[in-house]
Amino acid sequence: MKLLTSSLRNKLILFLVIAIVLPMVTSIGISYFYTRESMKNEFIRENSNTVYQGKINLSEYLEQMNQISLSAYNNLQEKNSLYNIVADGRGDYQTEKQLYNALNSIASANKDILQVYLHRKKTNDSFLIIDGFFKRAEGIDILGGRFPLPDNRYDPYFEFAHTAHNYGMNDFPYAPSDTVFTLHRPIYRAPLKEWIGTLSIDFKLNALANLSDLLYIKGSEEIYMMDMNGMVIYSSEEELIGTTLEDSWTLHLKSMTSPSGHFDWSSQTFKGTTIYETIGMFNTKWLLAKRIPNDVMYRNAEQFVRINALVIALSLVVIVAAAVYISFKLTLPIKQLIASVKKIKLRNLKLDIDSKSTDEIGLLADTIQNMVGTIDSLITKEYRLEIANKDNQLKALQAQINPHFIYNTLQSIGSIALQNNVLRIYDLTSSLGKMMRYNMNTNETIVPLSKEIEHITAYLELQKQRFKQQLTSHMTIDERAKDIQIPKMILQPIIENYFKHGFDQQIGVGEIWIHIEQIDASMLRINVQDNGKGVETSRLQQLQQQLLEGNEQPSHQESIGLFNVLSRLKLYFHPEATIGIANREPNGFSVTLWIPLQEERQPE
C-alpha cells in the first residue's frame, strides 16, 4: 500500500490496469457460466442419443437371442425336428445324434453362446452341449422350480448374471466358470399350452459388456442395466452385477414416469446427471442408465473457457504492457527529476538535467538546475577551506613526533669518526642521519612500507647501541606488502612507547617482535609486540574503549603516540582503520594495526 500511495506512476498503472482488466474478467465470468450451461445441454443431448442408440442395439441383441431360442419350434412338420423329438420322447441312438446336431446348430448360431441345455419332460432326461461336448443324463431336472413361468407362457425367462454351471451333470468332462446370463425358453405342445420341455441358452456376459462399453467412458462415467426391481444385469462396476440396488438414486430412477429422460443428482459420492432409457421385452421392462459426473460434463466447457482465458490473458499482457509503457512515458521526466534531486543529497552538484519537455515539468527542471549551480559554487568554496584545514591538521599531527636534531652536525661527527677509524660511531651517525632525512622530509607524507621499515631498522640500531646486549629485535615482513603506501612515521611512536613505558632491564633481555602481512587484497595487518611491563588492566580497558570510539584527545600524555597514529590512518585511509591493544602473557604488550586497502589514498 505504501508503494502505491508514494508513486504517481504506480497509481497511474493501477488505474489503467483496473480499467482494462475488470471489464475483461467480468466478460470471462459471464461467458463461462453461459458456455457451461450451453455445453451441458449439448452434452446431455449427445449422450441421450448415445443411450438411445444403446437401447436399440440391446433390444436388437435380445430379440436375436429370442429368435435363437425360438428355433426349438422350427420345422414342426418334420418328424426329426427338435420340437418333435422333445414332444415324442424318442431315445434311440439316431435320435440322440439328431439332438446333438440340433443343439450344436443352436450353440453355433451366436459366438456369445457358451452352452445349450435341453430338458424333456416326457422322458425326464436332459442334454447339454458346450464347445462340441455333448452329454445326456436321466432323471435330472435342475431347473424344476428354479424360475417362474412368464405371464405369457410363450415368452422366455431371463436369468440374470451368474456363474455358468453344468446343470447338475457333475460327471461332465468340462466345467465352465464364465459369468453368463441365461435365456430359458419353455417348450409347449402346439397348439395346446402343455409344457413338454425347456431350452436354456447361456450367453456370455461379454456380449452385454461389449455393447455397454460403447456407451460410456471407462474410469469417468458409469453404466447400469437393471430390471424394475433394481436387479443389476450389467454394470461398469463389476462387483454390483447380480446384486439389487436400493440406493436413493435408483429409487428415484424407478419412480420416473417418462420412458426416457435425464435428471440431476447430488450426493456425497456422486454429483452429476443420469440419462436413462427403458427397454421393453417379453412384457418386462429393463432400465438402461448412464451416470455422468459434473467434472466430466463440464470438462469441455472448462477447456473452452481456459482457451478463451488464455487468449484474453495474452491480450491483457499486451494491453497492460502498453498501459505500463504509457505510464512510464508520462512519468519518466518526473523520475529523472527526482533522480537528479537525489544526487544533490549525495553531494553531486554537477547536474545536467536533460529535460526536453516544455511543460510545467520542464520549467521545474530548469529552475532546479539553476538553483543547484548556485549552491555548488558556494559549497566548492567551503570545501576548499575544509581541505586546507585538514592539511594543516595533518602537518600539525606529524610535527608532534618529528625529531629536532641538527643534520649538518651529524655529518661532521661522521666525518671525524671516519678520520679516527671509529666505524661504530660512523654507523650510528649514519643511522641517525637516515632518520633525520626521513623525518625532516615534510613533502612526503605517504611512503612505501619498505621505507618505513628502513626507518625503524635505523631507530632500533640506535636503541641497541644504547642498551647493548639487553635488547634484541625480530622482524617478519610479507614481501607482497612492501610496496603498499602508508602514512609516514606510524611505527616509531608505537615502538617508542616500549622504551618510554615498558622496557625494564630487571625483567631480562628486552625483545621486540614486528610482524607485517597482507591479508588477501583488502587488509594490511601490522603487529608489534614486546616483553615489557605491559599496562594495568584498568588502564588497558580505558585505552581500548578510547581507541574503539576513535577519541582523538587521549586522557593521558603517554598514549598520544597511539592516537596520533590512529588519527592519521583514518584521515589518509578509511574510517574503518583500527588499532587493537592487549597485554601479553606472562608479560609484555601487543599493538595491532588493521589498515583497509580498498580506499588507499595515492601519495601526493
pLDDT tens profile 255-285: 898 999 999 998 888 899 999 999 887 777 8
Measured CA to CA, the distance from residue 571 to residue 588 in angstroms comes to 30
The three cell numbers locating residue 187: 417348450
In the CATH hierarchy, which top-level class contains the domain 216-297? alpha beta
Kindly report which listed range (219-223, 283-287, 514-518, 590-594) carries the lowest average pLDDT score.
Answer: 283-287
Distance CA 524, CA 506 (A): 35
pLDDT over threshold 50, residue 602: no
The domain at 474-596 falls in which architecture?
A: 2-Layer Sandwich (3.30)
Higher pLDDT, residue 381 or 98: 98
Grid cell for residue 532: 615489557
Contact 226, 286 (CB under 8 A): yes
CB atoms within 10 A of CB 423: 10
Direct distance between the N- and C-terminal alpha carbons of the chain, in angstroms, rounded to an integer: 52
Can you give the pLDDT at residue 136? 87
Asked if omega into 493 is within 30° of 0 (cis), the reply is: no
Instruction: Give every CB contact of residue 597 below 8 A, 6+ residues apart in sequence.
Output: 484, 518, 521, 522, 523, 524
Give pLDDT tens digits for 333-371.
777 777 777 776 666 666 666 666 676 677 777 777 777
Quote the cell numbers at residue 135: 452329454
CATH T-level topology, domain 74-207: Beta-Lactamase (3.30.450)
Exposure string over 39-50, b if 16+ CB within 10 A, otherwise e: bbeebbeebbee
Using an 8 Å Cβ cutoff, are 582 and 540 in contact?
yes
| Rounded CA separation 456/475 (Å) | 10
Q: For residue 357, report the phi and psi dihedrals to the nearest 5 degrees.
A: -75, 140
CA distance 99 to 368: 119
For 586, counting Cβ atoms within 10 Å of its Cβ (0-12 exposed, 13-18 middle, 19+ buried), the class is exposed
Domain boundaries, the chain: 2-64+299-336, 74-207, 216-297, 347-398, 474-596
Q: How far apart are CA 414 and CA 176, in angstroms?
A: 133
Q: What is the pLDDT of residues 105-118, one digit of tens each?
A: 999 999 999 999 99
Q: At what angle do helices 449-467 and 423-440 cross, to 10 degrees?
A: 140
More confident residue, 137 or 440: 137
* Radius of gyration of the CA atoms of the chain, in A: 57
Report the SS3 class of residue 428. Answer: helix
Q: Who has greater pLDDT, 470 or 4?
A: 470
Q: For cell 632518520, name the residue.
A: 435
**For residue 385, is pLDDT > 50?**
no
Distance CA 532, CA 508 (A): 9
Instruction: Check residues 240 and 305 and name the one with the higher pLDDT.
Output: 240
Tell me: pLDDT of 388 over 60.
Answer: no
Asked if 163 and 177 count as a contact pair (C-beta separation under 8 A), the reply is yes
What residues does 524 pair with on adjacent strands? 518, 595
Lowest mean pLDDT among 4-18, 121-135, 228-242: 4-18
Tell me the average pLDDT of the chain: 80
pLDDT at 4 over 60: no
Domains 216-297 and 474-596 share a fold: no
Positive/negative CA dihedral, 565, 571, 574, 576: positive
Mean pLDDT of 479-506: 87
Taking residues 234-239, what's their average pLDDT? 88
pLDDT value, residue 581: 93
**Single-letter code of the amino acid located at 1:** M
